[in-house]
């Protein structure tokens, strides 16, 4: 019995190979991640798992119940022989991962094959294969990942059920009992462990890839943030050169290039001796990406380089868009196509999307400087990259640990940006709508601050319909979180107090943060501060719009002392409301 157990555990090494191969298949990744798969993919899964069960049968050990002898390899099954095998593992995985259709389908394929081999246990083993698929499917979880302990239990339990079926159906009875006495324990143990091992390998591979994808996402966010100062000038030769240099230092590529719709703007890395700025776009593929806005991967023969001995062997071309119109490309060159991994493609795709957003922001900033009205709209639409990147980082980290909270934060982030965008189409909003915007912002920031931030609202409902310039309250709240609490590790307190008094509404934002010295206090809100720690741009923008749209009497009044917090107040007089 011990020899049988050791031999079966040795055969389970095949499981390692099969499990790794399955992690390469897209439909299998979708199943293990509880995603919907098509009918065609379901059929492929049934055939694949059924074939896995057949492999488990052929790698089994034949046992002669009359002579009590084992044959380490199963070549030709006699009537008095049965097979100690790992067939059930493939069927168990089919049911656990894919549910009833795939579990029973795989069991039917493996069971019919086993029945065709003959032997006095043929019918019993064929039936038990189908039953095993149904048992595993009962434990299938649509919304949650399968645990290793569940796979261990189901694999062992299904094998135990097979032993009972053999005793009940297989004839002659004394041979069935003799077989079960000899192989039951080794097969229950081996197939339980095999099922757990199969799932462990799959989950380990996928988790490692998820970690790599998270690192790639973090890198793309970091690179996008570092390129912000240069892309503010738009897509020019100078800005493209700086952006390519930053990306090239951080990405494992042979070269990085950027183009606009007509010419190469920058090329940094291998091949820069002949891929030069201001040269016309060489490849038809680049022009195709500009036309259809879809990323492309090209081999060496498709690069169409004019230099015969160009060392660049593959390229990924990603679109750069402004308002859904492709205005340029971001290109990553590699020595060979094998150097382009799935993770690399995700990094490039994410980076091109973020850089496209920065180009859109640059366009908005350019419009801001054209006229007074355009200036107000640009201020209202301003999206701070740090906040966006931090929000995405938080959501990425929560997707695996707390998906419900991640989903809620995505909803709040969507509401936040929707409010930002809608502010560009109107000059006035209400305090009630502004508070909704603030609450969306705070829900995201409180996820970052965890338990160190407390927010208190004291709101007079009579003030909710008071008219106010869009994006007035949220920048004041952001200013407190970004600067007042930057060195506080706990006990951060923020109060939002809004009261209606006769013909005016008074708004107060109070924090217990670091406060400001007299010199800073004398200029904050009235001009941009030239400092390495803060520019005061948020307060300056809010104060400027309040004075422009409500009058000098509604400007910000700021009181503060170092280490004793800050209070920001402004008043809306209702005879000035629109």
Share of the chain above pLDDT 90, in %: 24
CA distance 47 to 135: 19
State how far the Cα of 4 lies from the Cα of 72, in Å rounded to an integer.
Answer: 9
pLDDT at position 487 over 90: no
Asked whether 125 and 114 are in contact (CB, 8 A), the reply is yes
Domain boundaries, the chain: 2-207, 232-366, 372-576
In this prediction, residue 318 carries a pLDDT of: 93
Q: What is the pLDDT of residue 372?
A: 47
- In the chain, pLDDT over 70 holds for what percent of residues? 78
Cα–Cα distance between 547 and 154 in angstroms, integer? 71
Q: Specify the pLDDT at position 19.
A: 65
Q: 434-476 pLDDT, tens per residue? A: 898 888 888 888 777 777 888 899 999 999 999 998 888 988 8
Measured CA to CA in angstroms, residue 256 lies from 235, 267, 329, 367, 503 at distances of 15, 6, 11, 30, 61
Confidence band for 134, pLDDT divided at 50, 70 and 90 = very high
Angle at 41 between CA 37 and CA 47, to 5 degrees: 135
Given a cut of 90, is residue 357 above it in pLDDT? Answer: no
How far is 209 from 390, CA to CA, in rounded Å? 22
pLDDT at residue 92 in the model: 92
CATH of domain 2-207: 1.10.1760.20
What band does 97 get if pLDDT is binned at 50, 70 and 90? confident
Per CATH, domain 232-366 is 3.30.450.40: yes
CATH of domain 372-576: 3.30.565.10
- Pair of tokens at residue 63: 């046992």
d(CA 142, CA 191) in angstroms, rounded, equals 24
State pTM to two decimals: 0.44
Whether the per-residue pLDDT at 574 is higher than 90: the answer is no
Give the pLDDT band of residue 369 (cuts 50, 70, 90). very low
421 pLDDT band, cuts 50/70/90, is low
Report angle CA 322, 545, 430 to the nearest 5 degrees: 90
- Tell me what pLDDT residue 568 has: 93
- Position 383 scores a pLDDT of 47
Residue (of 77, 90, 86) closest to 121 by Cα position: 77
Torsion 379-380-383-387 (CA) sign: positive
Q: Which of 214-223, 287-296, 514-523 has the lowest mean pLDDT?
A: 214-223
């Amino acid at each position: 019995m011990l020899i049988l157990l050791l031999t079966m555990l040795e055969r389970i090494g095949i499981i390692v190979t099969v499990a790794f191969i399955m992690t390469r298949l897209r439909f299998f990744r979708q199943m293990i991640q509880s995603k919907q798969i098509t009918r065609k993919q379901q059929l492929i899964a049934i055939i694949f798992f059924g074939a896995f069960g057949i492999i488990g049968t052929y790698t089994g050990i034949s046992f002669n119940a009359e002579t009590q002898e084992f044959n380490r390899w199963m070549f030709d099954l006699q009537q008095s022989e049965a097979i100690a095998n790992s067939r059930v593992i493939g069927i168990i995985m089919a049911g656990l991962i894919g549910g009833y259709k795939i579990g029973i389908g795989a069991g039917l394929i493996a069971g019919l094959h086993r029945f065709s081999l003959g032997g006095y246990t043929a019918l019993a083993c064929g039936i038990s294969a189908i039953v095993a698929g149904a048992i595993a499917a009962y434990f299938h979880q649509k919304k949650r990942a399968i645990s290793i302990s569940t796979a261990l239990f189901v694999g062992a339990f299904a094998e135990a059920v097979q032993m009972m079926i053999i005793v009940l159906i297989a004839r002659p009875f004394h041979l069935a009992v003799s077989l079960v006495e000899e192989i039951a324990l080794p097969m229950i143990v081996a197939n339980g462990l095999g099922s757990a091992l199969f799932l462990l390998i799959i989950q380990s591979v996928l988790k490692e890839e998820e970690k790599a994808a998270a690192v790639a996402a973090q890198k793309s966010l970091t690179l996008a943030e570092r390129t912000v100062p240069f892309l503010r000038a738009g897509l020019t030769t100078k800005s493209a050169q700086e952006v390519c240099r930053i990306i090239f230092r951080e990405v494992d590529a042979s070269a990085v290039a950027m183009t606009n719709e007509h010419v190469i703007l920058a090329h940094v890395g291998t091949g820069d001796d002949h891929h030069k700025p201001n040269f016309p776009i060489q490849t038809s593929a680049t022009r195709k990406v500009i036309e259809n806005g879809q990323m492309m991967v090209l081999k060496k023969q498709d690069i169409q380089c004019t230099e015969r001995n160009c060392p660049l062997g593959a390229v990924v071309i990603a679109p750069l868009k402004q308002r859904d119109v492709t205005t340029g490309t971001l290109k990553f060159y590699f020595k060979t196509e094998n150097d382009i991994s799935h993770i690399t493609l995700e990094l490039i795709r994410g980076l091109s999307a973020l850089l496209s957003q920065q180009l859109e922001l640059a366009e908005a900033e350019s419009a801001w400087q054209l006229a007074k009205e355009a200036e107000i709209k640009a201020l209202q639409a301003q999206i701070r990259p740090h906040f966006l990147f931090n929000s995405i980082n938080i959501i990425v980290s929560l997707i695996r640990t707390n998906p419900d909270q991640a989903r809620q934060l995505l909803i709040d982030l969507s509401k936040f940006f929707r409010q930002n965008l809608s502010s560009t189409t109107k000059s006035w909003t209400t305090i009630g709508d502004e508070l909704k915007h603030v609450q969306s912002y705070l829900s995201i920031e409180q996820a970052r601050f965890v338990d160190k931030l407390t927010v208190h609202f004291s709101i007079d409902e009579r003030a909710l319909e008071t008219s106010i310039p869009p994006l007035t309250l949220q920048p004041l709240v952001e200013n407190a979180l970004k600067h007042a609490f930057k060195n506080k590790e706990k006990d951060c307190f923020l109060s939002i107090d809004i009261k209606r008094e006769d013909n005016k509404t008074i708004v107060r934002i109070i924090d217990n943060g670091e406060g400001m010295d007299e010199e800073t206090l004398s200029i904050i809100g009235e001009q941009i501060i030239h400092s390495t720690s803060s520019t005061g741009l948020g307060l300056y923008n809010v104060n400027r719009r309040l004075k422009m749209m409500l009058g000098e009497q509604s400007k910000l009044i700021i009181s503060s002392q170092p280490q004793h917090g800050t209070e920001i107040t402004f008043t809306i007089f209702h005879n000035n409301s629109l």
